[in-house]
Structure 1
Amino acid sequence: MTKKTRRIDYWRDPEAPKPTSRKASASVFVQDERGRVLMLRRTDNDLWTIPTGGVRKGETVAEAGVRECREETGLDIEVTGLVGVFSSPDHVIVYMHGKKVDEVRQPINLCLRGRIVGGEIQPEPTEAQEVRWVEPEKLSGYNIHPAIRLRIEHGLHGTDPYIG
């Protein structure tokens, strides 16, 4: 039996472990025709997030965003723009199997804008406990990591891509 991966996110925490890697990831900020935000609850830390995942060798950032959205939510998107580049050293992620630390990552995330072009909500059980559309005014009631909340805020209110 394989042990489940656990993820611990740190934000502006002086006690956070020092990063051992720096990797690119893609996330997608998607709203429906009513302005609701596509959200999912992660299986590895129980936090709410937008579709997000690592960029694999041989794929573009846009391809990674499309793939991750499909894998995590069952929905197909097309990329329509850039929310921003989020690379703050304030965000550190620890990945663990059992009590063993596998990696301490400082992410570089490219958050893309996307729109639904097909599929239906069907969470992948290893990726998402649930997927739902959330009205922006109700996001404050969700347990969302500050680094993800920053992406969402720029997706909702930013006019130019965020670079930080």
Structure 2
Amino acid sequence: MGRTEYYHDPDAPKANTLIPASNLLVVDADGAILLQRRRDTGQWALPGGAQDIGETAAQCAVRECLKETGIVAEITGFLGVYTNPHHIVAYTDGEIRQQYETTYIGRPIGGEPTINNEADGVHFVQPADLDRYDIHPSMHQQIGDYLAGTYPHLD
């Protein structure tokens, strides 16, 4: 399923759903941040996705990280809640979501970076190299909050 992201775009369609999702900002022992390149947008992002019934937001973040990157991670902290009503994601099936993400901080404990049907690139990236990657502004905000130490972010 394809998707189009709108960020502070006055022409964005009106949201018709609000789905809880979780991200995991994984930092390795060298301070590099785990990123995946999304096949549907071509942009680099933190691993994350929609929460399933029967799991906690934290379990969702760990599950999505493994599914999207091949990295087994454990949670070490909480970055924040991101609920920007000006960040809209329109899917080809007609669903139009308003952003609602809880983002956790974690560290890798196993696995290997692996591409899959959702990600065609998976890398640990040093903070000094982030500008070389096409990263969506919402992900830049979350990574920036982590690097600046401004968490938990609640908005």
1:130 aligns with 2:124: no
**Which among 107, 112, 119 is matched to residue 104 of structure 2?**
112
**Which among 16, 20, 32 is matched to residue 20 of structure 1?**
16
Normalising by the residue count of structure 1, what TM-score does the alignment of the two structures yield? 0.91
Q: Separation in 2 of the partners of 1:143 and 1:7?
A: 17
Give yes or no for contact 1:13–1:90 (8 Å, CA) kept in 2: yes
Unaligned runs of 5+ in 1: none
Normalising by the residue count of structure 2, what TM-score does the alignment of the two structures yield? 0.96
Deviations 1:24-81 (A, max 9, x none): 1000111111111101100111110010100000000111011000001111011111
Greater share of residues in strand: 1
Shift of residue 102 of structure 1? 2.2
Give yes or no for contact 1:83–1:158 (8 Å, CA) kept in 2: no
Shift of residue 159 of structure 1? 4.1
Specify the code of the residue in structure 2 equivalent to 1:92. Answer: I
Q: State how 1:1-164 maps to structure 2 within 5 Å.
A: 5-96=1-92, 101-124=93-116, 126-164=117-155
Specify the code of the residue in structure 1 equivalent to 2:100. Answer: I
Specify the code of the residue in structure 2 equivalent to 1:56. Answer: D
Aligned residues: 155
Q: Separation in 1 of the partners of 2:126 and 2:107?
A: 16
Q: Over aligned residues, Cα RMSD in angstroms?
A: 1.0
Give yes or no for contact 1:83–1:155 (8 Å, CA) kept in 2: yes
Displaced runs of 4 or more, over 4 A: none
Give yes or no for contact 1:22–1:108 (8 Å, CA) kept in 2: yes
